[in-house]
Amino acid sequence: MRAANLIRSAGSGGSAKPGIMAEYLSPGVYVEEFESGARPLQGASTSTAGFIGLAQRGATEGLPELVTSFAEFKRLFGSYLSENAFGPYRFLAYAVEQFFMNGGSRCFVMRVAPKDARASVNTSAEAGVLALSATNPGAWGDQIRAELLPASKAKTQIYEIIGEPEASKRYRVKSNAGFNAGDIVAFDDAAGKQYNRVVSSQDNIIELEQPLEGGLEVVDNSLLPAKVLSTCEVTLNIFCGNEAESFDKMSLNAAAANHIVKVMERSGLLNAADLSTESSEAVPPFTVICGLPEAAGKYDIVFGGGSDGSVASLSASDFVGEDNGPGRRTGIQSFIDNDVVSIMAIPGVTDPNVQVQLVAHCENLGSRFAILDIPREKTKVADVLTHRNIFDSSYCAMYNPWLQVFDPLDKRNIFIPPSGTVAGIYSRSDQTRGVQKAPANEVLRGVVGLEVQYNNGEQDILNPAGVNLIRSFTGQGIRIWGARTCSSNSLWKYVNVRRLFIFIEESIKNGTSWVVFEPNNDQLWARVQRTIDAFLTRVWRDGALMGTSPAEAFYINIGRETMTQDDIDNGRLICVIGVAPVKPAEFVVFRITQKTGSE
């Protein structure tokens, strides 16, 4: 079946005359195409994770940052955090590392910072003219080094003085390209430098604020001029660890495109604010900023005052975030603008106020699943159940206990929350087996031990309650040994069932956007049905749906049986879809009896 057919072909379910055609005014052969078949429907991604937590650096508002490796995470957000400074809130870096180690391929990260965290600022003399600050709060900004150098973006020679040589301010030059009104310029000859300001620049004629000294001596028509009129700018080189940025030929002329504030908007390390005021004298930007003549050649800028803040100032509201409008949201709210993430976690943050908000976020969007940690101190079955009973949702799952891994910062083994590792296993299972496979009975990579070893009797209590235990088995390593959600509804008790429906719903929603504003008639209904049927048939063949045939695996109802005339008149197209998901073989039972010789 072809999705697009020639006008002479009726296609599959199409018409030989699909609609209004182009005008035919002159004799000839006309070939036209129209769409009649089903459109291919691509499956939505289910393996992209979203993480929220404390980090050394990184933006605290706006859109979450895409991270495709742990090396990229360290470049954007810094490395591991110390236990002394950040205590139970330091696990974001470890969780992201475990995510990639266990099979994750990409995630989005949003940083949270304490309210008393401060950005580093320049503390030397130039701060009164050029205010520089780190792009985001944290002590990391104190490591920034910057150097200011004089520069020039354009130079030319003067061919002619227009008017009285001693009093004229207008000069015909070889080229006025790069000379803007308001720029500070320097005329350099054997006698030294004269600084001036450009009033206008057009058609190779430059008008200055004051006439140049020397009269006709400023004219130089030679092929290699010795007397040059050049603009005055500055170059700023910035260094922080292995990162380096260079912003060349910037001006303090607010009307120019190379104004320092405009150019440094591209910086990932510093923000700039121009506090200078226009002087009656023409002074080069380098001197205005640092007070030194351009002959000094270089000026070093010092930064300080950065602070990571205190853990005591953190509260649940910092992780929940604020909805300050598009591009300015923080915490959990920042992921409202992201429609790619399908797995969410806030590693190590077990405050019920935060976790219920994360679950509510996933339920409201309906396109993502939350992985929850249990407080480290709650290891007894009764304590675990107390925390578990706070939640009742099919959009989250809870895992315990905490995992023992090696800490490169302290050079010893530590215990970290399991959410980052589990998110990596979700991603790995989706990529190797499909979202229909329960993300359980999978080996945890990079984990050397468990904080608590639960036995079968304890799991007999926790598993029906929806707590997924991580257990160690002799000869089989450490594995996830549970695949249940935190829902009391038995229809949604398995993680893979909920995530399969998220996959199907998001795939259909994304793949049928072309239907909007199409004529709501039988032809459209037939195309929609064929599109969804082809997609669900592929899902069934992948083993995600029950049944020996597509008819047993799903059904699609669309048309007069699902819509009334009122629905059609009000522009509603209603399609009812039923699918039979596969359930995991959670309890494998072998019944064995004795066979006698006479049988």
Whether 247 and 199 map to the same domain: the answer is no
* Domain membership flag for residue 565: yes
Whether 381 and 447 map to the same domain: the answer is yes
Contact call for residues 468 and 332 (beta carbons, < 8 A): no
Residue 219 DSSP code: -
- Residue 492 has, within 13 A of its CA and on its CB side, a CA count of 17
Cis peptide before 225 (omega within 30 of 0): no
The C-alpha torsion from 2 through 8 and 12 to 14, rounded to 10°, is 120
What pLDDT, on a 0 to 100 scale, did the predictor assign at position 85?
86
Whether 237 and 216 map to the same domain: the answer is no
Contact call for residues 401 and 452 (beta carbons, < 8 A): yes
Question: From the first residue on, what is the mean pLDDT of each consecutive set of 10 residues in the chain (599 residues)?
Answer: 40 43 82 78 91 95 95 94 90 97 96 93 90 94 94 93 86 93 90 90 93 85 90 95 93 92 94 87 92 91 92 92 90 94 96 97 96 96 96 96 94 96 96 94 95 95 96 94 95 95 95 92 92 94 94 93 93 94 85 74
* Domain membership flag for residue 22: yes
Across the beta sheet with 403-407, the strand order is: 412-416, 403-407, 449-450
CA distances 124 to 282, 498, 545, 562, 598, Å, are 24, 57, 67, 72, 100
Whether 265 and 279 map to the same domain: the answer is yes
CA distances 373 to 98, 302, 344, 346, 352, Å, are 15, 42, 12, 8, 10
What pLDDT, on a 0 to 100 scale, did the predictor assign at position 36?
72
Helix 419-432 and helix 92-101, axial crossing angle in degrees, nearest 10: 20
Whether 136 and 162 map to the same domain: the answer is no
Contact call for residues 182 and 253 (beta carbons, < 8 A): yes
CA distances 276 to 102, 126, 129, 302, Å, are 53, 10, 5, 19
Whether 193 and 222 map to the same domain: the answer is yes
pTM (predicted TM-score):
0.87
Burial class (CB in 10 A: 0-12, 13-18, 19+), 176: buried
What pLDDT, on a 0 to 100 scale, did the predictor assign at position 15?
39
Percent of the chain as helix, strand, coil, to the nearest 5 = 30, 25, 45
* Domain membership flag for residue 103: yes
* Domain membership flag for residue 140: yes
User: Rounded to whole angstroms, how far apart are CA atoms 36 and 15?
Assistant: 8
Whether 26 and 129 map to the same domain: the answer is no
What pLDDT, on a 0 to 100 scale, did the predictor assign at position 598?
61
Q: Report residue 543 as tokens.
A: 């083993």
Whether 331 and 455 map to the same domain: the answer is yes
What pLDDT, on a 0 to 100 scale, did the predictor assign at position 20?
53
Backbone angles phi, psi at 583, to 5 degrees: -110, 150
Contact call for residues 275 and 247 (beta carbons, < 8 A): no
Q: Which domain holds residue 299?
A: 121-151+233-304
Q: How many degrees, rounded to 5, is the angle at CA 246 between CA 242 and CA 248?
A: 175
Whether 245 and 292 map to the same domain: the answer is yes
Find, among 371, 365, 373, 425, the residue nearest to 400 by Cα: 373
Whether 480 and 345 map to the same domain: the answer is yes
The CATH number that applies at residue 131 is 2.60.40
